[in-house]
Amino acid sequence: MAVSIRDVANQAGVSVGTVSNVLNRPESVAAHTVDRVRAAIDALGYVRNDAARQLRAGRSDTVGLVVLDAGNPFFSDLARGAEDAAAERGLSVLLGNSDERPDREDAYLGLFEEQRVRGVLLSPSSERLETAERLRAHGIPVVLVDRSAPGSPFSSVAVDDEHGGYIAARHLLDQGRRRIAFVGGQRSLRQVADRLAGAERAAAETPGGRVEHVPTEQLTVLAGREAGAALGARAPRPDAVFAVNDLVALGVMQALVMLGSVRIPEDVALIGYDDIAFAQSAVVPLTSIRQPAHLIGSTALALLDALAADPTHATETIEFDPELVVRASTGARPESGTDPS
């Protein structure tokens, strides 16, 4: 049975109010009484009910974060950015992984609502935002991360994914590639749809350029490996692959290298998205579109904190520019940060 504050008071021979003062305002209590109460706390193993304290105070020091894939280094970096910004404000972050499943996303949002969190950072798994709208209606602010939502009631912090898709495909087309396979995900996921739309726009500007969507159920290395094996066996095969993220790109690279008959970049140029740490150290260093993941997380946390402090704070849509980082997998010039558009 959990030890209560009354048990501590009885053990120390003081009132419940005195124990509360020791926990919250120790400077107002005599030093010898503070020592006696703390000794009782240690002896009984008392742990304060912080959720109840925050409920009474009407303010939580906890923020919820729901991401699409906690195993993706991009989201790890984003979470680190949010945690760093939260720590500066005396806040903590609770992390939930939706695994791109709307039902798991809703479950985490419901849990965070029950915990009366200060606010929620959300990378949505679909266009359906009813649960997030419910939290917002109940006074819990929600900021979308890695996803823009212009015209919606939600503030958001993301990268311009349509432009990111455009500069990725533009780079491949400028290298003389014309048959681009866009590998990964479903169009129902906004990030996939926007990156694909950008790639298609670049191809439409180029005579002979075309983009084929090769969907996958997941955005993982294994999904990329399966897609890469299928593409490598084609005749004719695409002369370029634009993977929806770096994990998928690394899987495609593994599959093509294991075939033994396909060379990167001579036969197939390959570009990813996110520029995770593994991209630079791949067997063929991977060209990628860089997103400032840590900055997205820290900026979103700061915006969420402002919304929690002032519910009348205006809705903001913050978009960062993606950056092309060129490496050996597209057979071009050495690594740089140039944007050809």
pLDDT of 331 reads: 85
What pLDDT is stored for residue 92 in this prediction?
94
Q: Which pLDDT value is given to residue 59?
A: 58
pLDDT per residue, tens digit, the chain (341 aa), is 677 888 999 999 999 889 888 888 889 999 999 999 999 988 888 877 655 555 555 557 899 999 999 999 999 999 999 999 999 999 999 999 999 899 999 999 999 988 889 999 999 998 889 999 999 988 899 999 998 877 788 999 999 999 999 999 999 999 999 999 999 999 989 999 999 999 999 999 999 999 999 999 999 999 999 999 999 999 899 999 999 999 999 999 999 999 998 999 999 999 999 999 999 999 999 999 999 999 999 999 999 999 999 988 989 999 999 999 999 999 854 343 444 43
Contact (CB, 8 A) for 273 and 250: no
Q: What are 177's two structure tokens?
A: 């590639």
CA distance 253 to 273: 14
pTM: 0.79
CATH class for the region spanning 5-48:
mainly alpha
Give me the DSSP letters along 49-103. Answer: -HHHHHHHHT--SEEEEEES-TTSHHHHHHHHHHHHHHHHTT-EEEEEE-TT-HH
Give the closest residue to 155 by CA, choosing from 43, 259, 304.
304
In three-state secondary structure terms, 289 is strand
Q: Which residues pair with 319 in a beta bridge?
A: 158
Spatial contact of 301 and 85, defined as CB atoms under 8 Å apart: yes
Q: Is there a contact between 98 and 147 (Cβ–Cβ < 8 Å)?
A: no
Confidence (pLDDT) at 294? 96
Among the four given CATH numbers 3.40.50.2300, 3.40.50.300, 1.10.10.10, 1.10.3720.10, the one describing domain 62-159+292-321: 3.40.50.2300
Q: Which residues in the chain are classed under CATH 3.40.50.2300?
A: 62-159+292-321, 161-291+324-330
- Delimit the CATH 1.10.260 region(s) of the chain: 5-48
pLDDT at position 333: 42
At residue 204, the pLDDT reads 97
- What residue type is assigned to position 307 of the chain? L
Distance between CA atoms of 122 and 109, rounded to whole angstroms?
9
Q: How far apart are the first and last CA of the chain?
A: 65
Given a contact cutoff of 8 angstroms between Cβ atoms, the answer to whether 221 and 278 are in contact is no
Check: CB of residue 220 under 8 Å from CB of residue 227.
no
Distance of alpha carbon 242 from alpha carbon 271, whole angstroms: 5
pLDDT number for residue 340: 40
Give the helix/strand (H/E) hosting 271: strand 269-274
Instruction: Compute the distance between CA of residue 83 and CA of residue 266 in angstroms, rounded to an integer.
Output: 42
- The fourth-level CATH superfamily of domain 161-291+324-330 is Response regulator (3.40.50.2300)
